[in-house]
Homo-oligomer: A and B are copies of this chain.
Amino acid sequence: MTARTIRVGILGNGNIGEALVDRIEAQRGDLAARTGIDLEIAKVAVRTMDELRSTHLAADVVTTDAMSICVDEGIDVVVELIGGVEPARTFVLAALGAHKPVVTANKALIAATGTELFDVAVSTGVDFLFEAAVGGGIPIIRPLRESLIGDRITRVLGIVNGTTNYVLTRMTEEGSQFGDVLAEAQRLGFAEANPAADIGGHDAAAKAAILATIAFGTTVVADQVYTEGIDDVDAELIDRATRLGYVIKLLAIVERVDDGADTQTAVRVHPTMVPLDHPLAAVRDSFNAVFVQGEAVDDLMFYGRGAGGGPTATAVLGDVIDAARNLVNGTHADVGRLVPAEIRPIGELTSAYYLDPEVVDRPGVLRAVAEVLARHDVSIRSLEQIDAGGGARLIFITHIAREADIQAVRRELADLDVVVDVGRLVRVIADA
């Protein structure tokens, strides 16, 4: 078999870009023998002349003009590793417009403008692949798109941000405080200097939007994702969760909700209490995992490194080979028909809940609190009372309830004279 040469143009020379170049150079011969595809790194776009001078790449391969790669007739496949929405979007549109398959690891780009890019890819008939955008090295987009296409996916629960999972794991296992662990994670390079997008849940929200789009065939953008970060999770809350048999994880949750004739998409990111015997509970440190539930396939989980040059470059390279094979075969992958999602409002979501109001410790108080819950159809699965300074703290886990009802309960509890502090609200995964 004679290998067919495919010329790859790479936009961006950061961590992932360097790992990708290394992988291609290390595996080139082996890949050609196994797949018949000979990958040639034709061009790499760097951002600055300084970067250009520091690279070990040949001078005629490197350029600071990313757009020239997108429109170069000698380039077969374009890999976008710049990150962020612009100018990445402009380059991707130019490459797709020039009928070049595009591979990207850019979750922000897809979560913000995926619909537009999918449409252009479909209408120009070229591949637009993004396995690395969710879960880094974990194969999840391809299994959802291809392996599970015959099933009806009902729910996806994802630990899709390594920084927050690292912070929560260290807090849980060592009893450390949030600020200390975050500082340590920054020192070790696990957390960004500005960790707001991770800690605030926005990185996970972008991935939730992509997962919902692929799992349900409905286009969801990041702005439609209800998002809470882990800012308010402290050692005390983690300790209470542990004693109740839960571990706190920042989950991206996407659900298909059939409401009569309507099918809605529920999509949210927030700290969640996960039962200790749930497979997601064992996902520690900076590892990611995506737990998928389907009507026929039942429970699945995909686990691995959600970030890092090597893992992410592996996912990118899998897509590059796929695009190259499709070019050779004169075909292209198909995202399938996507329809706009009807987003279920957060108030209509249902979940089990953890509540821990602090109350004055005198007769009749529990009755007053229980009346508020009953009035809003919130039933109690477990209740524990613990001392709290002069008063008492009531630790409730509810049965499945409607979010709007829980929020009404909290407003009314806050108005009761006997309630000192309305306490926290944490959503709880009820089924192991």
Contacts and interface: CB of A to CB of B under 8 A. Distances in A.
A299 interface: yes
Contacts of A304: 297-301
Interface in A124-170: 131, 137-139, 142-143, 146-152
A419 interface: no
B137 A300 contact: yes
Interface stretch (A30-38, A219-227, A379-387): A30-38
Interface string A278-311: 0101111001000000111111111111001011
A27 B152 contact: yes
A378 interface: no
Contact of A279 (B142, B277, B303, B321): B303
A175 interface: no
A421 interface: no
A408 B223 CA distance: 65
Contacts of A131: 147
A151 B337 contact: no
Interface string A24-48: 1011001101111000000000000
A313 interface: yes
A101 to B, nearest CB: 15
A318 B149 contact: yes
A375 interface: no
A329 to B, nearest CB: 4
A128 B19 CA distance: 33
A265 interface: no
A298 B316 CA distance: 15
A325 interface: yes
B305 A298 contact: yes
A83 interface: no
Interface size range of chain A in the complex: 35 or more
A277 to B, nearest CB: 7
Contacts of A302: 300-303
A422 interface: no
A336 B31 CA distance: 9
A23 interface: yes
A147 B283 CA distance: 22
B300 A138 contact: yes
A217 interface: yes
Contacts of A27: 150-152
A413 interface: no
A308 B300 CA distance: 14
A405 interface: no
Contacts of A261: none
Nearest to A303: B301
A317 B279 contact: no
A151 B23 contact: yes
Given A34-B217, A34-B337, A142-B147, A308 B318 contact: no
Contacts of A151: 23, 27, 314, 317
Contacts of A287: 299
List 9 tightest A-B contacts by C-beta distance, closest first: A150-B317, A139-B147, A296-B310, A300-B304, A301-B303, A139-B143, A282-B282, A329-B331, A297-B314
15 contacts: A23-B150, A30-B152, A35-B149, A137-B298, A138-B300, A139-B139, A139-B300, A147-B315, A149-B321, A150-B316, A287-B299, A297-B314, A298-B304, A302-B303, A325-B334
